[in-house]
């Protein structure tokens, strides 16, 4: 009788996929934290410097960069996992 493993078998495609997903989520959260810091810095600047406004296109670009970084981390891990296994 065999028992299925609750976690993917190390080195398997399922393990690579799970690891890639985990890394992508971590990168997404790190990018989100960076975007929040940029937004807070913009809000503080707006409060400290009279007449300054939050630059929404810059925040959008920061968010887009964070999202693309997460996608790149996911793809890179999947490619590395397939080439090493």
Alpha-carbon distance 5 to 59, whole Å? Answer: 43
Rounded to a whole number of angstroms, the distance between the first and last alpha carbons of the chain is: 27
**Residue 27: per-residue pLDDT:** 85
Count of Cβ atoms closer than 10 Å to residue 35 Cβ = 19
pLDDT value of position 1: 54
Domain boundaries, the chain: 36-85
For the segment 22-73, what is each residue's pLDDT rounded down to a tens digit? 888 888 888 888 888 888 887 777 777 777 777 788 878 888 888 888 888 8
- Which residues touch 74 (CB under 8 Å, ≥6 apart)? 20, 21, 23, 24, 27
Q: Is the pTM of this model over 0.75?
A: no
CA separation for the pair 63, 66 (Å, rounded): 5
Radius of gyration, alpha carbons of the chain = 19
């Amino acid at each position: 009788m065999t028992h299925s493993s609750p976690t993917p078998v190390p080195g398997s495609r399922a393990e690579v996929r799970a690891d890639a997903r985990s890394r992508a989520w971590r990168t997404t959260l790190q990018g989100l934290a960076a975007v929040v810091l940029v937004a807070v810095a913009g809000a503080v600047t707006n409060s400290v410097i009279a007449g300054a406004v939050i630059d929404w296109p810059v925040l959008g670009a920061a968010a887009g960069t964070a999202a693309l970084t997460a996608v790149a981390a996911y793809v890179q891990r999947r490619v590395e996992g397939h080439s090493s296994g």
